[in-house]
Amino acid sequence: MSISRTGCFAIVLVLLGSLPLAAASRPPAQGGGGAVASDERLATEVGLEILRQGGNAADAAVATALALVVVEPEAGNLGGGGLAVIKFGDEVTYLDFRETAPAAAHRKTYLDEAGEPVPEASLVGPLAAGVPGSPSGLFELHRRYGKLKWRVVVEPARRLAADGFAVSRRLHHGLVAKKEVLTRFSETADRWFPEGEAPAPGAMLRIPELAATLADYASEGPTAITSGDRARAIEEVSKRYGGILTADDLAAYAPVWREPVRFEAFGWQVASADLPSSGGILVGSTAAIVDRLSWRDTPRFGAQRVHLIAEAWRRAFADRFLLGDPSAAKAGADELLASSWLDQRSASVDPMKASASSSVEPWEHAVASDGVSESSDTTHLSVVDADGNLVALTTTLNGLFGCALYVPEAGFFLNNEMDDFATVPGRPNLYGLVQGEANEVAAGKRMLSSMSPTVAWREGEAVALGGRGGSRIPTATLQVLLNFWLDDDNLQAALDRPRVHHQWLPDQIFSEDDALSPETKAELEARGHEITWVGSLAQVHAVRWSAGGQVEAAVDPRGGGGASGVVRPLF
């Protein structure tokens, strides 16, 4: 069996059976004419408004993303970047608008004279900011696939910023949780804590500076942000706090159209994000390994399935150590999804005993990690239109509110994506991921990502999905697909089912509260697995299209419920 980046390979996938539903799932929303799933009700409604106006999936995806810039500023962004996988008819493409390292960045940017990492240097303040890709990326997605005029697509977000919106509980709690860091910068404190407190849930919030930016963005395109007064303002505020991001960096940025990772799984064609994201490779390699381990032949509810998929993830994430910017990666889909390599990986799995991650090396590398950090950073949206065109779009600031520096002249936060580089190869980043020299800091490089926007299709049916949650995105995306494909979960049930996660280092299975029964946990521990309980493992949003124009949409209940993550696809 051979696999290439653009070729197809056969994989038989199975459902992660030991993860029961915590409670009965509500049915997915169903209807006709198109569907949108996103983190926020107001953003979803904007996407649906665009579909009602005759827009297609690309129009609605961009409009929804821009609405998230307004109502979800902790993750939705013009100061960060993202990835999109698109299927329009028979054309399947991948847009990379990931951030890049500023021209002044180098491998020692975040190290002191002794070669040790400077605390918080790659996380807090503008030195942590990569060159934003969202302004150019969202524009480029619309330029190639959009149907409505650009100004029509931008207008709903501009209106939200100008007229105001009710602050969500998610935004309020995020601001409260990050207050200490955010208020280190007067620009951020003045906007988001004007009287020393975050705006209350339900309070009406207007952001006139962002409305002005969006108005100019609607008339001028990306240059409204990447050149002129706003670009100079970004450079000035960056330098004020020790950053290296310049107006020249902004002007030089360009998104890139690439080939997605492509494979066949259980009768479905699948396309997912390739480098500079590891997501598609992780999804494809894990699926191939569990197929070789006869995972589908094991009981749905029990320790064996968790054991086997954890061992597959352990090996897939070890190989992630070799990944980075396409120009610097030491391996890619051609190598890591090759049949011979996957045969070796699966053959190394003991079907009854946990491997030690220290013994699972990415070819000739072995390193150590000191733990994993939880964060909710990224935001994902999925859109399908009445013709079955799909967009899976993930954007990110990396950490919540990015580097915590708000640019008042532009109306948005700058990212802290530089921490996604291996600032010190062999040491863990924000998500506990251990990375190699291929992902080392260098001017102009794109940092490695875990974003996994994915589309899958077969005759008469298609789905688009992805998630937020750092390194947990590809494992959650795969589990949803397995649930949906192989054990007949409907779309909402596939999202609702509790999840587990393993990422090679730290050497632990992370489990949501309801994912493992006491008996299953005990058996896994007896096999040598260490179990760590976590409240939530990523948030996935998905849409589905069926022949005849029937559509479905589902949002992850881990988003907080209520107004957060509500999808309204019916019209």
| Cβ atoms of 512 and 557 closer than 8 Å | no
Q: Is residue 378 among the annotated active site residues?
A: yes
User: Using H for helix, E for strand and C for coil, what is the string for 10-22?
Assistant: CCCCCCCCCCCCC
Sequential DSSP letters for 425-444: TTSB-TTS-B--GGGB--TT
Torsion of CA 82, 103, 367, 16, to 10 degrees: 0
Full strand arrangement of the beta sheet holding 81-88: 34-37, 379-385, 390-396, 81-88, 91-97, 256-258
DSSP element (H, E) containing 82: strand 81-88
| Cβ atoms of 412 and 406 closer than 8 Å | yes
- CB count within 10 Å of CB 103 equals 15
- CB count within 10 Å of CB 23 equals 9
Helix and strand element counts for the chain (H, E): 18, 20
Among candidate residues 431, 533, 540, 444, the one with its CA nearest the CA of residue 484: 540
For 176, the token pair is 């409260």
DSSP E strand stretches across 286-388 = 379-385
In whole angstroms, give the CA distance from residue 195 to residue 91: 51
- Tell me how many degrees the CA angle 442-447-448 measures, rounded to the nearest 5: 135
Q: What phi and psi, each to the nearest 5 degrees, are found at residue 518? A: -55, -35
For 446, the token pair is 């794109």
- 378, 379, 396, 423: the catalytic one is 378
In whole angstroms, give the CA distance from residue 60 to residue 367: 43
Residues recognised as catalytic: 378
